[in-house]
Amino acid sequence: MAAFHQYDTGPRVFSCSLGGSLRFPSENSGAHPRRKDRWWSGCKHRRPSVAGTVYQVASLVIHPQYNSRTSDYDIAVLSVITPIVFGSGVQSIPLAPAGSGPVAGATSIFTGWGLTVEGGSASNVLQEVSLPIISQADCRAAYSVSSITDRMFCAGLLEEGGKDACHGDSGGPVVVGRLLTGLISWGNGCARPNTPAVNTNIPSMRQWILDTTGI
C-alpha cells in the first residue's frame, strides 16, 4: 500500500490524500491527484514521520478520458525520481490481466486510511475490509445503467451495508486473489445499504497502463 501526499512548503506538513498501489517501476492510483507532490510507500500509519519512505513524484499521467463528473476512466500512473526500495514491508503487486474482469461473489480486499464511519474521522492506521464483488447487473440496478460504465465494478454488502470504503480511501487497491483488480473510486455515502463501493476496473484499463508505462 502506498499513499499520495500533498504538502505545505512552509511547515512541510503532510496530509494523506489518496491511496495507491506499487507496480514496479510505476504506481497506479485514482485520477484525483492533479499535481506532482510526494508518494509514500511501505506505510501502515497515515503520517510518514511514523513509518514508511517518502519519494518525490517525477511524473503524473492521468487518463486522457478521465471525467471528473462521472468518475469514468478514474486512473492515473505516477513515477518517482529515485527507485523504490523493496523489502519485507514494501512489495509490488501484479495487475489482473485484460479480459479477466472480477467475478461476482469473489472476495475483494480494500485497504486505506479513509473515514472509519461516514461523517467521522480518518484513520491514522491502515485499515482493511473484505467485500464480495457484485454483478454488473446488480451494480447498475443500485445506481443506474449510465452511471456504471464498463470501466467500473462494484463490491459491498448490498442489502445490509455496514462495511465499505469511505472518503479518503480513493485510489487505494482492490485486491482479488492476490491481483490488483481495482482502484477505489466513488460511492454514495459510506456503508449504506444498496449503495456499494464503485471501483475502477483494472482489466479494462490494462492496455492503457501498458501503453503508458510499458509494463
Distance (Å, rounded) from C-alpha 22 to C-alpha 79? 10
| From 17-26, 72-81, 134-143, 146-155, the region with the lowest mean pLDDT | 17-26
Distance (Å, rounded) from C-alpha 114 to C-alpha 32? 15
pLDDT digits (tens, 9 = 90+) for 117-149: 999 998 888 899 999 999 999 999 999 999 999
Report pLDDT for 73. Answer: 97
Over the chain, what is the mean pLDDT? 83
Q: Are 32 and 184 in contact (CB under 8 A)?
A: no
User: Which cell numbers hold the place of 41?
Assistant: 510507500
Report pLDDT for 86. Answer: 82
Q: Is 131 exposed, middle or buried (0-12, 13-18, 19+ CB in 10 A)?
A: buried
Report pLDDT for 53. Answer: 77
With the CA atoms of 26, 30, 34 and 36 taken in that order, what torsion angle do they form, in degrees rounded to the nearest 10? -20
Report pLDDT for 11. Answer: 33
For the segment 50-59, the average pLDDT, to the nearest whole number, is 76
Segment 122-127 long-range contacts (CB within 8 Å, at least 24 positions apart)? 122/16, 122/46, 122/168, 123/46, 124/45, 124/46, 124/47, 124/50, 125/44, 125/45, 125/46, 126/1, 126/43, 126/44, 126/45, 126/46
Report pLDDT for 166. Answer: 95
For the segment 53-69, the average pLDDT, to the nearest whole number, is 89
Report pLDDT for 173. Answer: 92
Catalogue all structural domains in the chain, each as residue range(s) with its CATH number. Answer: 2-92+206-213 (2.40.10.10), 107-203 (2.40.10.10)
Report pLDDT for 107. Answer: 98
Report pLDDT for 70. Answer: 96
Distance (Å, rounded) from C-alpha 183 to C-alpha 196? 14
Give residue 167's Cα distance to chain centre: 11
Report pLDDT for 176. Answer: 97
